[in-house]
Amino acid sequence: MENYLILLIFHLIGDFYLQTTKVARCKNAAKGELCGECQKCKNNIWFNGEYLLMHSVLYIVPFLVLYFVAGWKSATGAIAILLATHILIDATACYFNKKMKQTVVFIIDQMLHMGVLCIILHIFGFNCDAGRYYEALKIVFLSLALIMPCSIMINKLIQDIYPNSNETGMFDVGSMIGVMERILTVVFACLGNFSAIAIIITIKTWARTNDLKEAEFRNKYLLGTLTSLVLALLIFIIYNEL
């Protein structure tokens, strides 16, 4: 399991933390559509190949560690498969983002990537011999999963339901509050103090009392908060099962 966990950590780093907002928006810009970051995206066919390729190359950077723990041929084969499948999966996701709900596309996209990791591990049988660092790896996975993947999924869900709302960035105040909320939720869940989670939500709600008078904000707030809580508890369950 630790070998798959290492590959999963590399995937999270490459797919979420090595991809800037500009790259994400530009690669998803459809033909004739402004991405909000630059002017040249209007000339795309159905995705921006330049930024898609850029992200795909950055995606495989964490996987270069495989050269130190596996044979040259195995590492090269795995990285070649990762690069090819990442381009294919992301290009398909960029296309369907304009035809389906972004949240659905996002979930399918991540499931496909995880499936590719399983296939690579089965074919090449990497053995990183990291058993003694397993608990540390679990914490790294937990931390990486709680921050950007959850923030992006919540943002996509809100965009699907409220298409005219402004897209928030990773360092938007609301997103940062959500990150802290998820971290505290998992910390209290690890301590078995689930009642403290209710206190966090109460304090957060009290701080937004005036804003909650607006119906649309209230709905977005409830949607974002409950989704954030569910994702945090889901990741906590996965963490415990690893």
Predicted confidence pLDDT, tens digits, the chain (242 residues): 889 999 999 999 999 999 877 777 776 665 444 454 455 554 554 456 777 888 899 999 999 999 988 888 999 999 999 999 999 999 899 888 888 999 999 999 999 999 999 999 999 888 877 778 899 999 999 999 999 999 999 999 999 998 877 665 555 777 888 999 999 999 999 999 988 998 888 888 887 888 788 888 888 889 999 999 999 999 999 999 98
Asked if residue 165 and residue 100 are part of one domain, the reply reads no
For the chain, how many structural domains are there in total? 2
Asked if residue 119 and residue 2 are part of one domain, the reply reads yes
Asked if residue 135 and residue 88 are part of one domain, the reply reads no
Asked if residue 107 and residue 14 are part of one domain, the reply reads yes
Q: Which domain covers residue 154, as residue numbers?
A: 130-242
**CA–CA separation, 167 and 156 (whole Å):** 8
Asked if residue 110 and residue 219 are part of one domain, the reply reads no
Domain boundary residue, one of 94, 129, 164: 129
**CA–CA separation, 184 and 10 (whole Å):** 24
**CA–CA separation, 154 and 161 (whole Å):** 11
Asked if residue 218 and residue 111 are part of one domain, the reply reads no
Asked if residue 116 and residue 6 are part of one domain, the reply reads yes
Contact (Cβ atoms closer than 8 angstroms) between residue 144 and residue 10 = no
Contact (Cβ atoms closer than 8 angstroms) between residue 26 and residue 35 = yes
Whole-model pTM?
0.88
Asked if residue 98 and residue 1 are part of one domain, the reply reads yes
Asked if residue 114 and residue 8 are part of one domain, the reply reads yes
